[in-house]
Structure 1
Amino acid sequence: MTVEIRSYTAQDEAQVVALWEAAGLTRPWNDPHQDIARAVAVWPDLLLVAADGDAVVGTVMAGYDGHRGWLYYLASAPDRRGEGIGRRLVSEAEARLEALGCPKVMLMVREGNEPVLEFYDGLGYTRETTRLTGRRLIADDDADARRGPK
């Protein structure tokens, strides 16, 4: 089958989370289900999946704050790597960001993840020297409690 790049739908959620877990992108302090809900609440057309029939074989989550675009959760299924799925997802995310007037796209790569940096080097990304800081405002378990029963 041909891999289609399309916007995420709610029916994709279980497969998307499973893919993120298989790709090693999840962390205990970030609930991936909450990340999906937050993303689609703001920019529903910027969470993309690569679908081969009914199977989700890749993802990328993009965001735009009016100043810069960001890419998160780029993943392709481990058994589908090398097929260009990641490149196609990045290209589509960039096109959607550009259509919104986004002048620049950024992403974060965890320290020591040289293969991922090399992947982005190959797409024309430039390694920045900026340091990041962060502070959690809402713990994912707190967000669940405020939302009430499921």
Structure 2
Amino acid sequence: MTDLHIRTAVRDDAEAVLLFWAEAAEGTSISDDVDGVAALIARDPDALILAERDGLLVGSVIAGWDGWRCSLYRLAVLPAQRRQGIASALLAAAERRFLAAGGRRGDAMVLEANGKAQAAWAAAGYRREDHWRRWVKPLG
């Protein structure tokens, strides 16, 4: 897949990333706006990893590292580009980032109802931990 370019996002990518997620990602987040994406990039410039092919955004993953946990969010690939190794390339880039930072384990947020995503994460070597549940509280 030599025509695939993996890079970190910059502030000017925020709108394109949101449009991409609307097409390629399942589910939404309270932070799905330009300010939210820009804040992520400003806080951790290496966290939002993008895959491009011929100038087209075809994949994304957020590889968040807070010094304690390696968290993976928004692994998404354009539907027409799936099953071509893009998600694997994105995960490899995220895992390299985590290892370089001293991370020990990647934790992925995966929607319960998204069976295809669960299968993809399992194929990448991740396993479900049923003894954890996510607890959330919107702030503000």
TM-score (norm 2): 0.89
* Residues in 1 aligned to 2:38 and 2:78: alpha-carbon distance in whole angstroms: 22
Please state how far the C-alpha of 1:31 moved relative to its aligned partner. 2.6
Query: Is the 8 Å Cα contact of residues 3 and 50 (structure 1) preserved in structure 2?
Result: yes
CA RMSD across the alignment: 1.7
* Residues in 1 aligned to 2:63 and 2:115: alpha-carbon distance in whole angstroms: 22
Aligned residues: 138
**Which amino acid is the alignment partner of residue 94 of structure 1?**
E
Query: Is the 8 Å Cα contact of residues 11 and 38 (structure 2) preserved in structure 1?
Result: no
Q: Deviations over 1:30-83 (max 9, x none)?
A: 433233112112210121110113211111111112221111111111110111
> Percent identity at matched positions?
33
**Which stretches in structure 1 are left out of the alignment for 5+ residues?**
139-150
In terms of fraction of residues, the more helix-rich structure is: 1
Q: In terms of mean alpha carbon deviation, does 125-134 or 32-41 score higher? A: 32-41
Aligned to 1:133: 135
Aligned to 1:72: 73
Q: Deviations over 1:73-96 (max 9, x none)?
A: 111111101111011101101111
Q: Deviations over 1:74-119 (max 9, x none)?
A: 1111110111101110110111111111111101111121111110
Q: 1:28 to 1:92 in 2, by over 3 A?
A: closer
* Residues in 1 aligned to 2:136 and 2:57: alpha-carbon distance in whole angstroms: 31
* Residues in 2 aligned to 1:7 and 1:26: alpha-carbon distance in whole angstroms: 22
Query: Is the 8 Å Cα contact of residues 12 and 56 (structure 1) preserved in structure 2?
Result: no
